[in-house]
Amino acid sequence: AQSVTQLGSHVSVSEGALVLLRCNYSSSVPPYLFWYVQYPNQGLQLLLKYTSAATLVKGINGFEAEFKKSETSFHLTKPSAHMSDAAEYFCAVSSYNNNDMRFGAGTRLTVKP
């Protein structure tokens, strides 16, 4: 079975500061890893995905994530937070066929002016 653990249900940063949202995964097969963002009362938008190619993945809105197999991690970062980044972020893991995607509990990002 696959699962992800997001460390920190709530992260608060100042505008312009580094954003770091943590995600660790557990998988018995090579994982495919994703980060999604959710704004209030909306669906999920894909930020980026790791699919066994480059370990450093760049996504939309200036976000990137690095797959580290030795640490079973896939942390999401952004060098400089913007007010519009305030949202809920979900890490997800699946196997090749995507029929078993599992989500983490989510991390709420707050950006202070």
Partner 1 sequence: GAVVSQHPSRVICKSGTSVKIECRSLDFQATTMFWYRQFPKQSLMLMATSNEGSKATYEQGVEKDKFLINHASLTLSTLTVTSAHPEDSSFYICSAGKLGGVDYGYTFGSGTRLTVV
Residues that bind partner 1 (CB under 8 A): 32, 34, 36, 41-46, 49, 51, 90, 96-99, 101-106, 108
Report, in Å, the least distance between residue 19 CB and partner 1: 20
Which is closer to partner 1, CB of 97 or CB of 113? 97
Which is closer to partner 1, CB of 56 or CB of 101? 101
Residue 7: CB atoms within 10 A of its CB come to 16
CA 61 vs. chain centroid, Å, equals 13
- The answer to whether the beta carbons of residues 9 and 107 sit under 8 Å apart is yes
Phi and psi, residue 62, nearest 5°: 80, 5
Report, in Å, the least distance between residue 44 CB and partner 1: 4
Report, in Å, the least distance between residue 64 CB and partner 1: 16
- The answer to whether the beta carbons of residues 30 and 78 sit under 8 Å apart is no
Which is closer to partner 1, CB of 22 or CB of 102? 102
Report, in Å, the least distance between residue 67 CB and partner 1: 13
| Residue 4, token pair as written in the block | 């992800």
What is the SS3 assignment for 69?
helix
